[in-house]
Amino acid sequence: MSTPHQQRAARPAGDPAWQPVLEPDPRMGFDSEPWPAFEPRRTGHPAPARPGPSPEGYRPSPERYPERHPTHPERRGPSPRPHPDSLRRPDPRRPESRPSHPRPEPHPRPEPGPPRRTGFRFLPQILAILLLAGGVVGYFAGTSAIRLVDDGSSRTFRTYATTVKGLLHHAGLTLHKHDAVQPAPPTALRNGDKVVVQRGRPVTLTLDGVTKQRWVTTRTVKALISDLKIDGKYRASAQPATAIPREGMRLTIRTEKRLTLIADGEKTKLTTYAATPAELLKAQNVKLEGRDEVKPKIGETLAGAKEVRVVRVTVKAKQETVKLDPPVKTKKNKAWMVDQKLTVDPGKAGKADQEVEYIYRDGKFSERKVISEKTLVKPKPAVVRKGTKPYPKDDTGLNWAALAQCESGGNPRSVSANGMYHGLYQFNVQMWQRMGGIGLPSQATPREQTYRAILLYQAAGSDQWPHCGSRLYS
């Protein structure tokens, strides 16, 4: 007796183009969803027969494809997915849901062989772990932990370096010309030390009117002002907490000053932040006229100044005819002592017209200034001979100062009442010239007069000074 499935799948006689409409076989257990229906098509050609569900559950037939069957001993690779009939639990209430074919016997597993030696299976991994652990321990045991602060950024750096210079090289830090490091690069390092690197920054600083380009290592305006050691109050163009960038900045600082302003006869005590006298006078509404002067000068700084003085200047111009002194020509004489000088030709004075200014400061005459000059009579130069021979050392050991005090009272220009004796040692003109002197003794220098007195003593002794000669031995 055929099943309803077989009845629906039977081929009608005499219709070669008919194709069956397949429905699920209840034996397959797929009763939840029907098979897709195959509509008959009429193409004029008979359709190939489509087999129905295999009672073996679509498994390859072991008789037809023995090498493809899961149970074949020569089968290689993973086993195919088992048929749902082999996994589905039979429902006792539905006998038709039970599998209609016996389950295939599993492929017998090979008999276990002798046990394998696995004692050294993980030996390479164990050795690698031990080597890694030993390297880590050796690294931490052989290195030093240094606190490295680079421009305010702090980190802990482990290094084999023994000096600050080696640490910077290991950390890849380069010091530029204006950078600073503490401690110094040659300093030896110990575990736990701290190394601070400060980067240089260009700052255009205007302090009380004086502008300078400075390189600083401070990172804030407050720290820079602290380095400048500014005492007292100040005013800055930036807030103290402002950071100084690495590319630099411009900063203006004015300090508080206590000083006295003197102008037009009045003294005024002031407290000001002005940087220069010009700013101070503008703030005090003091005007300068003509050639008025300010001390300190109008553009100088007021830092450290105790007073600012305004000087009123008055100028009077005049035309004058004046006498021109002759210029002096000097001729050297090697035979004369260095202080000996003789005017050979006194020359002749000239005459000139001058345009002059008489300058008065605060109403008092201060100076005469020549603006222009026109020569009317050219002066004739004077000629003077001058010695170049140095004086010898005094080896007499006598008290020449006591003799001079006794003879002339220590006055090198002294002249006796009768006009015969001159100078410190009261030489007469004849004796002076015999000792090599020129001119008058009272016109010579004290050193030359003493030198001529030593020559006279060596020639005639102390008897040349009958009243005061004994003072030489005092």
- Per-residue pLDDT tens for 376-416? 999 999 999 999 999 999 888 999 999 999 999 999 999 99
Residue 430: other Cβ atoms inside 10 A: 9
Q: Are 210 and 301 in contact (CB under 8 A)?
A: yes
Given a cut of 60, whether residue 22 has pLDDT beyond it is no
DSSP 67-115: GGSTT-TT--SPPPPPPHHHHSPP-TT-GGGS-SSPPPPPPPPPPP-SP
Could you tell me the two tokens for 375?
A: 């020569």
Q: What is the enclosing helix (H) or strand (E) of 208?
A: none
pLDDT band at 108 (very low <50, low <70, confident <90, very high): low
Q: Which residues of 131-165 are buried (b: 16+ CB within 10 A; e: fewer)?
A: eeeeeeeeeeeeebebebebeeeeeebebebeebb
Q: What is the pTM of this model?
A: 0.50
- Per-residue pLDDT tens for 61-73? 556 556 555 565 5
Given a cut of 70, whether residue 8 has pLDDT beyond it is no
pLDDT of the residue at 399: 93
Roughly what angle, to the nearest 10 degrees, separates helices 400-408 and 446-460?
A: 100
DSSP 390-422: PPPP--S---HHHHHHHHHTT-TT-B-TTS--B
Could you tell me the two tokens for 456?
A: 């006279």
pLDDT of the residue at 2: 47
Weakest-pLDDT range from 38-42, 434-438, 455-459: 38-42
Could you tell me the two tokens for 243?
A: 């950071």
DSSP 8-class letter at 185: T
